[in-house]
Amino acid sequence: MSGTPFSVGDRITLKKPHPCGGREWVVYRIGADIGLKCLKCERRVMLTRKETDRRMVGSIPASTGVSENPQSK
Protein backbone atom coordinates (compact mmCIF):
# COMPACT_ATOMS: atom_id res chain seq x y z
CA MET A 1 0.00 0.00 0.00
CA SER A 2 1.51 3.31 -1.04
CA GLY A 3 0.60 6.89 -0.26
CA THR A 4 0.65 9.10 2.77
CA PRO A 5 0.48 7.30 6.11
CA PHE A 6 -2.36 8.59 8.28
CA SER A 7 -2.94 8.31 12.02
CA VAL A 8 -6.05 9.02 14.06
CA GLY A 9 -5.81 12.60 15.33
CA ASP A 10 -3.76 13.95 12.41
CA ARG A 11 -4.93 17.34 11.16
CA ILE A 12 -4.98 17.78 7.39
CA THR A 13 -5.72 20.65 5.03
CA LEU A 14 -7.58 19.97 1.80
CA LYS A 15 -7.31 21.89 -1.49
CA LYS A 16 -10.91 23.08 -1.61
CA PRO A 17 -12.78 24.47 1.40
CA HIS A 18 -15.84 22.72 2.81
CA PRO A 19 -19.16 24.54 2.14
CA CYS A 20 -19.00 25.88 5.73
CA GLY A 21 -15.71 27.61 4.84
CA GLY A 22 -13.40 25.32 6.82
CA ARG A 23 -10.30 23.81 5.21
CA GLU A 24 -8.88 21.91 8.19
CA TRP A 25 -9.96 18.37 9.02
CA VAL A 26 -9.02 15.83 11.68
CA VAL A 27 -8.64 12.11 10.92
CA TYR A 28 -11.02 10.13 13.16
CA ARG A 29 -11.04 6.73 11.42
CA ILE A 30 -8.46 4.65 9.55
CA GLY A 31 -9.29 1.67 7.37
CA ALA A 32 -10.01 1.06 3.71
CA ASP A 33 -11.42 4.60 3.80
CA ILE A 34 -10.25 7.61 5.80
CA GLY A 35 -12.80 9.25 8.12
CA LEU A 36 -12.43 13.03 8.34
CA LYS A 37 -14.19 15.54 10.60
CA CYS A 38 -14.37 19.24 9.68
CA LEU A 39 -12.90 21.34 12.49
CA LYS A 40 -15.30 24.23 11.82
CA CYS A 41 -18.73 22.56 11.56
CA GLU A 42 -17.84 19.02 12.80
CA ARG A 43 -19.35 17.37 9.70
CA ARG A 44 -17.97 13.85 9.14
CA VAL A 45 -17.07 12.48 5.70
CA MET A 46 -15.45 9.32 4.39
CA LEU A 47 -12.91 9.44 1.54
CA THR A 48 -10.87 6.68 -0.02
CA ARG A 49 -7.14 6.77 0.71
CA LYS A 50 -6.47 7.65 -2.94
CA GLU A 51 -8.97 10.53 -2.88
CA THR A 52 -7.60 11.83 0.43
CA ASP A 53 -4.03 11.80 -0.94
CA ARG A 54 -5.16 13.63 -4.07
CA ARG A 55 -7.09 16.35 -2.19
CA MET A 56 -4.60 16.88 0.66
CA VAL A 57 -2.33 19.95 0.67
CA GLY A 58 -0.66 19.60 4.08
CA SER A 59 -0.83 17.81 7.39
CA ILE A 60 0.06 18.19 11.06
CA PRO A 61 0.80 14.88 12.82
CA ALA A 62 -1.18 13.95 15.91
CA SER A 63 0.32 14.73 19.29
CA THR A 64 2.67 12.06 20.59
CA GLY A 65 0.95 12.22 23.97
CA VAL A 66 3.46 14.66 25.49
CA SER A 67 1.78 17.73 26.91
CA GLU A 68 3.06 21.01 25.46
CA ASN A 69 2.14 22.90 28.63
CA PRO A 70 2.86 20.60 31.56
CA GLN A 71 1.12 21.63 34.75
CA SER A 72 3.30 21.79 37.83
CA LYS A 73 1.77 20.88 41.18
Q: How many domains does the chain have?
A: 1
Task: List CB contacts of 72: < 8 A, sequence separation 6 or more.
Answer: none
Domain that holds residue 20: 11-60
Q: Is residue 6 part of a domain?
A: no
Q: Give every CB contact of residue 50 below 8 A, 6+ residues apart in sequence.
A: 3
Provide the pLDDT for residue 13.
94
Q: Residue 43 domain-assigned?
A: yes
Cβ burial of 1 (10 Å; 0-12, 13-18, 19+) is: exposed
Position 55 in a domain: yes
Residue 15 belongs to some domain of the structure? yes
Residue 1 domain flag: no
pLDDT attached to residue 71? 53
Q: Is the pLDDT of residue 36 over 60?
A: yes
Q: What is the pTM of this model?
A: 0.77
Domain assignment present for 73: no
Of the pLDDT bands very low, low, confident and very high (cuts 50, 70, 90), residue 66 is very low
Mean pLDDT of all residues belonging to the chain: 84
The reported pLDDT for the residue numbered 43 is 96
Residue, of 4 and 32, whose pLDDT is higher: 32
